[in-house]
Amino acid sequence: MTGRGVEVEDDPRGAGRGIRQSMSGLHTWAGLLLGWILYAMFLTGTVSYFKDELSQWMRPELPRLQQLPDQAVVAQRVADELGIIAPGASQWSLRLPDARNNSVYAFWLGATRGPGRRGFAEGHFDPATGHSVSSRDTLGGDFFYRFHFQFYYMPVLWGRLLAGVAAMFMLVAIVAGVITHKKIFVDFFTFRWGKGQRSWLDAHNALSVFGLPFHAMITYTGLVTLMALYMPWGERAAFKTPAERQQLAAELSAFLQPGKPSGQPVPLASVEAMVRQAQQRWGHDAIGRVNAVHPGDAAARVAVTRADASRVSMSPQSMEFDGTTGELLAVHDHVGAAAETRGVLYGLHLGRFSDTVMRWLYFLVSLMGTAMVGTGLVMWTVKRRQKLPDPHRPHIGFRLVERLNIATIAGLSVAMTGFLWANRLLPVALPARAGWEINAFFIVWAATLLHALLRPARSAWVEQLWGAAVLLGLLPILNALTTARPLWRSLADGDWVFAGVDLMCWALALLHAVLALRTARHGAGVRSSTQRSPTVALASGEGAR
Amino acid sequence: MTSLVHRARSTVPLISRIVAALVGGYALAALVSVAVLALPIGRPQAVLVGQLASFAVYAGAVIWVFAVRSAAKAWTGLVVVVLALLPLAWWGAR
């Protein structure tokens, strides 16, 4: 095994070698080149399975919903509010509160289209009053969710293309890894602690094999979520007219095609009555969104869509109403086989169908996927360190990979925790506050890179892992000091969103502390092993097999 | 001079393979996503089938490019499949 990896590094041409060797080389390079981006995508994506809960935790002023309010009443309330704050909006869309969301999220297109963002605006609303939430300005868990597939500080389109390239590399790395790994199940039951490179390889293999179906699924379905962007050619070749294109759009989403306004003002019919009809069809708490085009105009249309929860497929199911009379025009609850397949794959990626137990499983396996990418990145340096002419003075490429590993893996934990600290510490009245929370995340992340570049590698690992452990461990205390919802009260009230975040912080603090201790202890072993000649180290690696 | 030639001999096929995998693989996947329009199913469904399948095709093409014995063989394989698909894609996109 070890010997194979080394041969590949010496001879990456692929000529005249066995298929496992070329696949091993492909696996290594596909994994490494975008590995840091993949690690960040995996970890922020993992956390995103609890994005709604994180968003609640990051808006501590908003009370938890003891009992889910009537969605029809809330819809009318927020629709009225939108009529006041965004009069003449050409369309709006609002997400109703559910078991995991205590606020109403809405976005709308203003009538006058300014340059740049086309008059696009968004906001959160209190379901109890319909008014804009009186809570700190934050992107909440949506920051990690959006970063996961489009990053930040760059145009959304570029970010999504970069995410697609990374996902494609991941897919290739998974397939090449499976081909490389002939004894896939034998190795799964083989684990050797404290044996340097062998242990890293064993850990990487165990993590990969255990979660293999999930990793393959999540990578492929990730590509599916944005497939129209990545592979637009069939669509372009197939459809010549907007009407044809609209046929496809209807299979993919419940958003209404705007059409033209009549210019004749007619007040919007009762949104509450429309949502009531949808409740009768799908269930009382099963309404996801209410979308309207040209509200207040004679050409108004309203679509009420079914929630994602309780069904795996994300294929659209909606009821379309005439916006002026409230008359039901059409029920869309059926799409073609390919669109349904896409809906299921999309749904599998987002996991919004899942109940609490399923979501925790998603989170844990996804965390193992993160660790799979992380151990793979570390292994690149562990393997090469043994081949270095002088392990104490490695060449620049090696040092760069090593430092980027530290800042990406340990540093990201510090930065993500820093984001949550910023949420509690930044003044509530700070202008552009949500943006500053995000800036804080990147400032902390950049600081960890600087730290990794300045400190000896092992010290940097240990210090940053301890840093993450301490920040995570103190976060529940910071929460108790800065909000009216400390852990003991959340536990007494049965508020599992707040108690859950606090307890999870401690669990993750423990994980980081264990990693820090192991790294510190392992570092001592590295020093003695590097005194052996590289050949001896390799030979012993072979012997282990 | 000879060392330069030796170097070129070892890196040119590798670069050729990387280009074949990244560009050739994508071109092949894109072509497949158009060729499925020739299937006897509705157009919106065919478009989606093509998009869904394209990533498997792309991954398969990359694996192929690095699995075969030489860069020349990798390119030949890609070109043969492209030529076979072209009429289908042309007919499907009408």
Token pair for A73: 């009443």
pLDDT interval class at A437 (50, 70, 90): very high
Q: Cα–Cα distance between B71 and B13 in angstroms, integer? A: 6
pLDDT at A532: 36
Residue A25 touches chain B, beta carbons under 8 Å: yes
Kindly report the length of chain A: 545
Q: Cα–Cα distance between A99 and A95 in angstroms, integer? A: 12
**Residue appearing with tokens 């329009």:** B37
pLDDT at A279: 95
| Four-point Cα dihedral B52, B56, B61, B67, nearest 10 | 180
Mean pLDDT of A82-106: 92
Query: Is 80 exceeded by the pLDDT of residue A190?
Result: no
**Strand partners of residue A109:** A91, A120
Its pTM stands at 0.89
Token pair for B60: 């398969």
What number of helices (H) and strands (E) belong to chain A? 22, 7
pLDDT interval class at B46 (50, 70, 90): very high
**CA-nearest residue of chain B to A18?**
B67
Give per-residue pLDDT as tens, A351-401.
988 888 999 999 999 999 999 999 999 988 888 887 888 777 788 888 999
Query: Is 70 exceeded by the pLDDT of residue A527?
Result: no
Distance from CA of A403 to the nearest CA of B (A): 27
pLDDT interval class at A536 (50, 70, 90): very low
Query: Is 70 exceeded by the pLDDT of residue A537?
Result: no
Query: Which region, left, alpha or beta, applies to residue A313 given φ > 0 means left and ψ of -120 to 50 means alpha?
Result: beta
pLDDT at A6: 35
Average pLDDT, chain A: 87
pLDDT at A185: 62
**Residue appearing with tokens 């500053």:** A436
**Residue appearing with tokens 């570092």:** A523
**CA-nearest residue of chain A to B11?**
A13
Give per-residue pLDDT as tens, A301-316.
999 999 988 788 999 9
* Domains of chain B by residue range: 2-92
Residue B72 touches chain A, beta carbons under 8 Å: no
Count Cα atoms within 13 angstroms, Cβ side, for A543.
Answer: 7
User: How many beta-carbon pairs below 8 A join chains A and B?
Assistant: 117
Q: Are A475 and A57 in contact (CB under 8 A)?
A: no
Distance from CA of B29 to the nearest CA of A (A): 8
pLDDT interval class at A194 (50, 70, 90): low
Query: Is 80 exceeded by the pLDDT of residue A265?
Result: yes
pLDDT at A428: 94
Residue A18 touches chain B, beta carbons under 8 Å: no
Q: Cα–Cα distance between A400 and A28 in angstroms, integer? A: 17
pLDDT at B1: 56
pLDDT interval class at A7 (50, 70, 90): very low
Among A5-9, A60-64, A390-394, B69-73, the minimum mean pLDDT is found in A5-9
Query: Is 60 exceeded by the pLDDT of residue A465?
Result: yes
Query: Is 90 exceeded by the pLDDT of residue A152?
Result: yes
Identify the helix (H) or strand (E) that includes residue A414: helix A396-425
Of A25, A230, A338, the CB nearest to B48: A338
pLDDT interval class at A181 (50, 70, 90): confident
Mean pLDDT of A507-516: 97
pLDDT interval class at A529 (50, 70, 90): very low
* Cβ atoms within 10 Å of A273's Cβ, excluding its own: 12
Q: Cα–Cα distance between A409 and A35 in angstroms, integer? A: 11
Distance from CA of A21 to the nearest CA of B (A): 9
pLDDT interval class at A528 (50, 70, 90): very low
Mean pLDDT of B41-64: 96
Query: Which comes out higher in pLDDT, residue A183 or A158?
Result: A158
Mean pLDDT of A38-42: 97
With contacts defined as CB-CB under 8 Å, which chain A residues touch B11?
13
Of B47, B66, B71, the CB nearest to A248: B47
Mean pLDDT of A425-451: 97
Query: Is 80 exceeded by the pLDDT of residue A220?
Result: yes
With contacts defined as CB-CB under 8 Å, which chain B residues touch A175?
59, 63
Q: What percent of chain A lies above the pLDDT cut of 70?
A: 88
Inter-chain CB proximity B63 and A176 less than 8 Å: yes
| Four-point Cα dihedral A86, A91, A97, A99, nearest 10 | -150
pLDDT at A189: 66
Inter-chain CB proximity B63 and A175 less than 8 Å: yes
Mean pLDDT of A324-347: 93
pLDDT at A188: 63
Q: Cα–Cα distance between A119 and A112 in angstroms, integer? A: 7
Of A13, A224, A239, the CB nearest to B52: A224
Inter-chain CB proximity B45 and A339 less than 8 Å: yes
